[in-house]
Amino acid sequence: MRRITVLGSTGSIGVQALDVIEKNPDLFTVVGLSAGSNADLLGEQAARFSVEHTALGTDESVALVRDVETDVVLNGITGSVGLGPTLAALESGATLALANKESLIVGGDLVKQRVSPGQLVPVDSEHSAIAQALRSGTASEVRRLVLTASGGPFRGRARESLRDVTPREALAHPTWDMGLVVTTNSSTLVNKGLEVIEAHLLFDIDYERIEVTVHPQSIVHSMVEFVDGSTIAQASPPDMRLPISLGLSWPDRVPGVGVPLDWTTSQTWTFEPLDGEAFPSVALAKEVGAAGSTYPAVFNAANEQAVLAFHAGRIGYLDILDTIRAVVDAHSPGSDALTLEGVLEAERWARAEADRLLAG
Ligand SMILES: NC(=O)C1=CN([C@@H]2O[C@H](COP(=O)(O)OP(=O)(O)OC[C@H]3O[C@@H](n4cnc5c(N)ncnc54)[C@H](OP(=O)(O)O)[C@@H]3O)[C@@H](O)[C@H]2O)C=CC1
Ligand SMILES: CC(=O)[C@@H](O)[C@H](O)COP(=O)(O)O
Ligand SMILES: [Mn+2]
């Protein structure tokens, strides 16, 4: 029986994780829950799972992770505020099932240095797919990683045609039902850019050997190409409960957690190149990833500010990418080795710089 702490239990990942746990009472028990501000739902969840320890906000989430003995911490918080809880989870010695990709991306080596072998299990669907595919080979046999992208709701559109799209249109994801930030990021392809950096950090593969292909059906969740020309892909209908369950029970699979593909009906899976002119975010993310230091933190923080401003109706859709680019260009990182204070300071600067540009 694994004891699970779910951070961000009131969100999309958190609610689906509790569904997996509830259906598998012989495998999992919940010992801690946290949310940002939704105290009502958190209270209901605590009552439903008889959980004694709950937390609201980042500081309480960190304390929860430190104080409550647990086998697995699922970090389902959204945004780089998840960094403190991620570091606390690693320090606690528990397995970290990581949906909160932002904490790995902004923390970079600071996070990696704290990870014991096998301690971090990716929950993001693409990275779970790669981790599953890598069970069939060693890292030295990998030629490249190929991340799939749905292409989002604006796939096939030219950049200029996106100037007046609304928040509602940006939230109409074609295949996944997710929280506001990651859904918006899918529409701009910033999510895929973040995921390229995440893949580099998780699997130690150079950026030149990480590619993105657009796969609108979101059935193949990513692929590993090996040195002999073999490619192993992981495929399943789009349902996060599968990678969440693997995060909670790695390396074991949870029987019945997902519905398998139906091979009795016709289906078509398509793959097409990413339109880098309409969606420059992946190329920009590779640039900031390769630059390293505090650049990924600045990229992410500028995006978080711009996404909030877009949903508040303060800026247009194309301003999101323009702002990220301008903030990244204006950034000059300190020359010293990456420190937590350095990352937090770079983030503060990037948020202020983004807000200044957006207000203008
Ligand atoms: N949803 C999905 O299918 C996928 C999500 N991911 C990643 O998983 C993470 C979560 O995404 P998603 O579930 O969609 O997001 P949601 O917006 O649906 O949920 C976010 C959760 O984080 C909580 N939260 C926000 N701020 C804080 C804070 N300061 N301290 C503690 N908890 C906080 C929210 O609480 P409250 O409700 O109180 O605001 C909520 O429980 C993101 O990093 C995303 O990129 C990755 C792959 C797929
Ligand atoms: C389900 C999941 O992992 C999301 O991060 C997903 O990747 C979003 O889809 P796209 O970014 O490919 O549109
Ligand atoms: Mn993903």
Cβ of 136: how many Cβ atoms within 10 Å? 11
Assembly ipTM: 0.99
pLDDT at 138: 73
pLDDT in the model for residue 137 = 65
pLDDT digits (tens, 9 = 90+) for 201-219: 999 999 999 999 999 999 9
Are 85 and 112 a contacting pair, CB within 8 Å? no
What does the CA dihedral 135, 104, 73, 142 come to, rounded to 10 degrees?
A: 0
Q: What is the structure's pLDDT at 136?
A: 65
Q: What mean pLDDT comes out for the span 80-109? A: 98
Lowest mean pLDDT among 113-117, 244-248, 291-295, 335-339: 335-339
Is 192 marked as a binding-site residue? yes
Tell me which residues have their CB closer than 6 angstroms to ligand 1. 8-14, 34-38, 57-58, 61, 76-78, 81, 99-102, 124-125, 176, 178-180, 182, 240
**pLDDT score for 208:** 97
pLDDT tens digits for range 132-184: 999 866 778 999 999 999 999 999 999 999 999 999 999 999 999 999 999 99
How many A from CA of 155 to the centre of ligand 2? 14
Residues enclosing ligand 2, CB less than 6 A?
124-126, 149-150, 152, 176, 182, 186, 191-192, 240
**DSSP alpha helix (H) spans, the chain:** 12-23, 39-48, 57-67, 83-92, 101-107, 109-112, 125-133, 167-170, 180-188, 190-203, 241-249, 281-291, 295-311, 318-330, 340-359
